[in-house]
Amino acid sequence: MSTVIIGVLGAQSCGKTALVRTMSGEDTDRRKDEKERGLSIEPGFAVLETENSKQLSLADLPGHDKYMRHLLAGLSGVTTVLLLIAADQGVMPQTREHLAICRILGMQQGGIVISGIDRVEPDLLSMVMEEVPEFVRGSFLQGAPVFPLSSVTGEGVAPLRSWLVEVVAASAEAKGTSPFRMTVDRTFTLPDGGIVATGAVLAGRITSGESLLLFPKMAPVRVNGLQVHRREVKEAMQGSRVAVNLHGVEETMIERGDVLATPGCLSPSHILDVDFSYLADNSEPFRNRTAVRVHLGAAELAGHIVLLEDEELGPGNRAAAQLFWRSRWGPGRVTAFWCGATRRRLSWVVA
């Protein structure tokens, strides 16, 4: 069965988890500390069935800036986004940042949700609705559908559900001809001692019984079993959220950010060639060989960046560069990196 992953983004407390719960019946805040604090820390996933043999997976992504690395990890495999704007908040700084992330990652499709319309007067709702077109002008969300709704009363939820079903129906069927690749975003141990790794299938397909390599450890593993949204399956294809029961790996050998892939398709390296875009809102030029924290898939790595032509790069400019990090890693999409000393976000790059 094919799956389409929809990323649900927005500022803290804009109603993402409540919307996912209303649409799916699942509470994606499963951790004790998430429930105690009333905010999402890890990405949560819920499934909606459609009538065309495809599944729709809703990825409830953290809104707090402190958990940005978790949001970036949760965007792996996402092809369509829902950007939430709370009717009683309007466009927040985090909203702008999330839209910028999606633009850099090359997202092409999405919708806008105005949440919590039951909490505001019509005049305030109208003001927020009028703010949206200017906010998304020039982005992939320009002209996207806008859904004012309430997760409490259910008003406006049906049109959003219908649109999501249309998105799933129109999605291209994954061919699964490329080598398999999946970034591990969570691991846990079964009562019988089995090790399970979860993540989104970024390319190809995975089948029960096949042999894979765990990168960057280069450890051979075998697939004992597969689940997609708690259902046993024989195979999973690109776009699916999958739990992989692994044989041949110890609990201490696998961690968040590792990559499961077809043997021979990746070559771990200390160096990655990148197209470096330095954010325009930075106040100082980027200096060559600055220490950075790199977000690659679900991993966060320490390293530094080397400009290939100049010693400095001004805000709003781009250049060819190389990323160097301390441990070997496989090729992939670099989503963000930070100044190692101040944690100030420096840039978004694509490898």
What is the crossing angle of helices 122-136 and 93-104, to 10°? 30
Q: Please, what is the average pLDDT of the chain?
A: 84
The pLDDT of residue 52 is 61
pLDDT in tens, 298-340: 777 788 889 999 999 998 888 999 888 876 555 554 444 444 4
The pLDDT of residue 195 is 93
The pLDDT of residue 247 is 92
The pLDDT of residue 74 is 81
pLDDT in tens, 122-168: 999 999 999 999 999 999 999 999 999 999 999 999 999 999 988 87
Task: Give the pair of three-digit tokens for residue 223.
Answer: 């697939």
The pLDDT of residue 342 is 38
Instruction: State the burial class of residue 49 (Cβ atoms within 10 Å of its Cβ: 0-12, 13-18, 19+).
Output: middle
Separation in Å, CA 209 to CA 155, 217, 266: 46, 21, 21
Q: At 299, which helix (H) or strand (E)?
A: strand 299-307
pLDDT in tens, 8-29: 999 988 999 999 999 988 888 7
What class has domain 2-170? Answer: alpha beta
Provide mean pLDDT across the span 41-70.
79
Half-sphere exposure of 20 (CA within 13 A, CB side): 30
CATH 2.40.30.10 is right for the domain spanning 181-261: yes
Residue pair 193/307 in contact by the 8 Å Cβ criterion: no
Residues 327, 301: Cα–Cα separation, whole Å: 8
Residue boundaries of the structural domains of the chain: 2-170, 181-261, 269-350
Contact residues for 137 (Cβ-Cβ < 8 A; gap 6+):
none
At the topology level of CATH, where does 269-350 sit? Elongation Factor Tu (Ef-tu); domain 3 (2.40.30)
Residue pair 220/213 in contact by the 8 Å Cβ criterion: yes
Cis peptide before 159 (omega within 30 of 0): no
Residue pair 165/56 in contact by the 8 Å Cβ criterion: yes
The pLDDT of residue 41 is 75
According to the per-residue pLDDT averaged within each range, which of 72-81, 99-108, 109-118, 195-204 is highest?
A: 109-118
Residues 81, 11: Cα–Cα separation, whole Å: 14
Do the domains 269-350 and 181-261 match in fold? yes
The pLDDT of residue 117 is 97
pTM reported for the whole predicted model: 0.80
Half-sphere exposure of 12 (CA within 13 A, CB side): 12
Residue pair 10/85 in contact by the 8 Å Cβ criterion: yes
pLDDT at 262 over 90: yes
pLDDT at 279 over 70: yes
Share of the chain above pLDDT 90, in %: 43
Task: Give the pair of three-digit tokens for residue 92.
Answer: 């927040």
The pLDDT of residue 36 is 67
pLDDT at 341 over 50: no
Q: Which segments within 74-194 are labelled E, that is strand?
A: 80-86, 109-115, 146-148, 181-183, 186-189
pLDDT at 172 over 70: no
